[in-house]
Amino acid sequence: MPRPIAARIHLDAIRHNLQLVKRTAPTSRVWSVIKANAYGHGIERIYPALAEADGIALLDLDEAVRVRELGWNRPVLLLEGVFEPDDLAVADPYRLTVSVHCDEQLDMLAAARPREPIDIQLKMNSGMNRLGFRPADYERAWLRASRIEAIASIGLMTHFANADDGAIDWQVDAFDAVTRHLPGTRSLSNSAAVLWHPRAHRDWVRPGTILYGASPSGCARHIEGIPLRAAMTLESRIIGVQTLQPGETTGYGRTFTADRPMRIGVVACGYADGYPRHAPAGTPVRVAGVRTQLVGRVSMDMLTVDLTPCAAAGMGAPVELWGEHIRVDEVAEPSGTIGYELLCALARRVRVRCDTADVTAERLAQPV
C-alpha cells in the first residue's frame, strides 16, 4: 500500500480563480501564468481549467511546446524571451510571442528569417532593475524593433517591484511617460496589481500565484475576504501516536518540551515531500477536521502535531497540511518563505491526484 501522503489538484478552483481575475479586471485580457510547471501543479493536469484564458505565459520553450501540443491555439508568451538564436527556430513554427528586454535579443530577431513575423512584448525596466530597457532607452528600442522585418506586433510591458506591499504609481508614471504616444497593447499587472491596483490593469493582466489560490504578498491575512480557492491540497494521515508527560520532548534536537500530558500525532510528511523543514512549532495543521498545530522539528519523512484539540483522532486520521482550510501561506509565512516556493517544491515522490476534467480539448482549441 502506498505511503498515505498525496496532493490533490482542484481544477474547479483554478477555473474559479480565473473568473475572479476576469471580474476584477473586466476590461483586460488575461495571460494565465503557468511557469515552473504551473507552480508545481503540473501543466498537463491544470490545462483543462484554462479554457477561459486569453493567453498563456511561461518561461521555458519546452513548456511552450507542451502547451501547443495539448491543443492550445491562442497566444503563448515567453516571459523572458529567447536566450540564443536557435530558440527562434522553435518560436517561429509554434507561433510564440517573445518578450524582448535587451539589445542582444533584438540582434537575434534582426538576424532571424522566420516563416512569419514574430509578435513581441517589449519590456521596460521601470524600476524593478532586473530585465528590460530603461525608460531613457525604451523609445529607441521600440523604434529599432519597429524596423525589424522578423517582428510583427509590438506589445508594451513592464513588471512591478512591490505591488504586493506598496504603491506602484512611481513605476506606472515612468511607464506612461515614455509610452504615451507609442502604439501597442499594454501589459503591466502581476497578481498583486490585479487584486490591488486597478490603475495598472490595462489591455492585458498577468496573474500567476492567485490562479492557484495563494497570496501574492506571501501573507494569508492580505487575501482575507478575497474568495480565492486553493488549487492544491497536500494531505496525509496519522501513522503513529505518542503520549508525552510534562518535561518530555519529541523529535530531532528535542526542540519541543511538553508542559502538560499530551497526545502527539505522527504524520507521514516531511521535508523530502516538500514541507518546509524550518516550519516552527505552532504552524497550523488540520487533523480530522480540527485545526491544531505542529510541535517539534520537521524531519525528512515525518512531522508531529498536537492532538489535544482533536481528542478523537488516532491512527489513520486524515491530515491537511495545506489546502482549502489551511492556506499554503499560513505554512509558508512562519517558515520564512512564501506560498509560491512551497507549491513549486512539491516533491516528485508525492502522489498527485487530479479532479476529473469536464472541459474538452476541442473547446480549448479555438483559433487565435
Domain containing residue 201: CATH number: 3.20.20.10
Same domain, 103 and 242: no
Q: Which of 249, 154, 209, 165 is nearest to 332 (CA)?
A: 209
Residue at a domain's end among 159, 181, 214: 214
What per-residue confidence (pLDDT) applies to 355?
A: 80
What share of the chain in percent tops pLDDT 70?
96
338-278-9-236 Cα dihedral, nearest 10 degrees: -160
For the chain, the first-to-last Cα distance in angstroms comes to 46
Query: pLDDT class for 356, splitting at 50, 70, 90?
Result: low
Scored b (16 or more CB within 10 A) or e, 117-148 reads ebbbbbbbbbbeeebbbebeebeebbebbeeb
Sign of CA dihedral 168, 170, 174, 180: positive
Q: How many domains does the chain have?
A: 2
- List the single range of 109-113, 198-202, 299-303, 362-366 with lowest mean pLDDT: 362-366
Residue 361: predicted pLDDT: 36
Residues 356 and 49: beta-carbon distance below 8 Å: no
Residues 208 and 236 in one domain: no
Is 80 exceeded by the pLDDT of residue 183?
Answer: yes
d(Cα 126, Cα 140) in Å, to the nearest integer? 15
129 lies in a domain?
Answer: yes
DSSP 8-state secondary structure symbol assigned to residue 197:
-
Look at the pTM and tell me if it is higher than 0.75: yes
Average pLDDT over residues 53-66: 97
252 is catalytic: yes
The total number of residues written for the chain in this structure: 368
Render pLDDT for 189-212 as a digit per residue (tens, 0 to 9). 999 999 999 999 999 999 999 999
- Note whether residue 152 is domain-resident: yes
Q: Which domain holds residue 293?
A: 232-326
- Judge if 143 and 288 occupy the same domain: no
**pLDDT higher than 50, residue 363:** no
* DSSP state, residue 164: T
DSSP SS3 for 364: helix
Name the active-site residue from 22, 35, 47, 94: 35
Per-residue pLDDT at 156 exceeds 70? yes
Among 49-58, 127-136, 233-242, 358-367, the minimum mean pLDDT is found in 358-367
Contacts of 183 (CB under 8 A, 6+ apart): 154
**Best CA proximity match to 148, nearest among 115, 118, 182, 125:** 118
The conformation of residue 279, written as its DSSP 8-state character, comes to: P
Catalytic residue among 123, 252, 275, 340: 252
Active site residue 35: yes
Mean pLDDT of 139-151: 98
Q: What is the DSSP letter of 356?
A: P
